[in-house]
Structure 1
Amino acid sequence: MTEPLLLAPFGFLSQLRQHNDRDWFNAHKDQYLAVHQQVIKLADRVLEGLTIHDDLETPTGKKSLHRIYRDVRFSKDKTPYSTHFGGSFKRASAERRGGYYYHLEPGNTFVIGGFWSPSAEDLLQIRKQIQQDPEPLRDILNSNAFQSQFGELLGTQLKTSPRGFDPEDNAIELLRYKQFLIQHKFTDEEAMRTDFDQLIVEQFTHMRPFFDYMSEILTTDLNGESLL
């Protein structure tokens, strides 16, 4: 029977939580390198499945993976290593917006996608488009498919209305967002399945209606003319 790809990586991460220091990590470097290869194999499978449905710039699963070494220069938390494996896949071309991210950690495994820190120009463009016609986004967010997979739109929000927008605007609950994120969480049992790569691809595919909508409003003006 095929062993789940995350069985050994999750075991390593559980140990790393208890021994997050350089001496322990260096003593177990061979173990890390072995589980790192298994995570790369999982990422390669996800990439293979995802490219059936979307065009990506990320060339390999290895290139998608983030470093386990933390940058602690400006952090109060000085532990040197992340206690999860994570990575991202970038969509290809200026016409395709949004990014696919995965986070693999015992008890806290999820995929998330969207727009973490849109530029001021992009954020204004998003808000103007939503203000003009909020119904397409509402239709996506209120659909059974979206709510069953992602629940609700996530991201930091203003407590008041954005500058230049009416506090009484009928789309104000959407205009307050500064980030636009959607997330799906997995149980450890799901992460231990031998077809877990397919579960990730399935959730990334479910993100497409949201991504396609956001891509359209970011690449066209209020008259529907291309900005590219």
Structure 2
Amino acid sequence: MAVPTSTFDYLNLLKENNTREWFHANKKTYDGVKADFEATIKELIGAIGAFEDMTGVEVKDCNYRIARDVRFSKDKAPYKTWLSASFSAGGRKAGRMDYYLHIEAGKSFIGGGMYSPTPEQLAKLRQEIDYNAAELKSIIYNPDFIKAFGEAEGESVKSAPKGYSKEHPEIELLRKKQLFFWHKFSNEEVSADNFVQKVTEACFILKPYLDFLNYIFFDDQEPAIKL
């Protein structure tokens, strides 16, 4: 199911009127927007389930609340001006590297990877790069992967990370503090009939990278599904 163009109309209005009063006065419209997005999430759970274990995962396990947590933020706007969901075995609270879908006017994307790693995860990734960078490079430098996701985005340390030489042959990868990949969609693509298909195809291409991260971060054995 595509995301209707009316969803972007609503999100743009919310951006201009981000108050609890406006939100509750337009709650009926939001309920319709939410129902449309949840239908898309449900369809994606089924489609991604063709190559990921989505057993028992429901819409509520993937969808994020639109209300913002403003307790520790200088920005006190009460609501997000986008819709989002994550897809993985066990749902978004499972803590694994997952497929993240973001719907926002002019800024929609499907993405995944190392966005906010713990110090332990970053250390494990750098150790894996140091010992055997070939596997990671074979994934993220694959022509199909590059065509779909381009180069990784995210912060890097200016010099070599502690414990590694500036002359290390994989210094550019070792410098990465984030290694996140995005496939962006225009508003027209999001509202097209084949949107779920396009998201699913992108997730399938992204899967080997997420399998790689989940294996070195969490798993004691090889992933059940190998591509």
Relative to the length of structure 1, the TM-score reads 0.87
What's the offset of the Cα at 1:97?
Answer: 4.9
Count of residues paired in the alignment = 219
1:192 aligns with 2:191: yes
Mapped to 2, the partners of 1:150 and 1:58 lie a distance apart of 29
Matches within 5 A, 1:1-228: 4-56=2-54, 59-92=57-90, 97-218=96-217
Q: Give the Cα–Cα distance (whole angstroms) in 1 for the partners of residues 48 and 130 of structure 2.
A: 32
> Kindly, what percent of the aligned residue pairs are identical?
33
Offset, 1:226: 5.2
**Segment of structure 1 superposing worse, 119-128 or 39-48:** 119-128
Task: Specify every segment of 5 or more residues in structure 2 that has no aligned partner in the other structure, as ranges.
Answer: 223-227
Deviation by residue 1:92-147 (Cα, 9 ceiling, x = unmatched): 59xx9521111001111101101222222222121111111212222222221111
| Cα offset, 1:219, TM superposition | 5.6
Indicate conservation of the 8 Å contact 2:5/2:187, yes or no: no
Displacement, 1:58?
6.8
Shift of 1:4: 4.1
Cα 1:205–1:15 change in 2 (3 A) is same
- 3-state SS, counterpart of residue 74 of structure 1: coil
Cα pair distance change 1:100/1:20, threshold 3 Å:
same
**Inter-CA distance 27–88: structure 2 relative to 1 (3 Å threshold):** same
Q: Is the Cα contact below 8 Å between 1:98 and 1:114 reproduced in 2?
A: yes
| One-letter identity of the residue aligned with 2:199 | I
Runs of 4+ in 1 over 3 A off after TM superposition: 215-220
**Alpha-carbon contact 1:113-1:181 (below 8 Å) kept:** yes
Q: Distance in 2 between matches of 1:182 and 1:23?
A: 37
Equivalent-residue separation in structure 2 for 1:18 and 1:51 (angstroms): 37
* Structure 1: 5+ residue stretches without partners: none
Alignment RMSD: 2.3
Q: Amino acid of the residue matched to residue 78 of structure 2?
A: P
Q: 1: distance between equivalents of 2:113 and 2:173?
A: 15
SS at match of 1:178: coil
Other structure's SS at 2:24 match: helix
Residues 57/155 of structure 1: CA separation in 2 closer, same or farther (3 Å cut): farther
TM-score, length-normalised on structure 2? 0.88
Partner AA of 1:131 in structure 2: D
Residues 68 and 81 of structure 1 are in contact (CA less than 8 Å); yes or no, is this contact kept in structure 2?
yes
SS in 2 for 1:17: helix
Q: Which amino acid aligns with 2:28?
A: D
1:7/1:124 CA distance change after superposition, 3 Å:
same
The separation in 2 between residues aligned to 1:107 and 1:188, in whole angstroms, is: 6
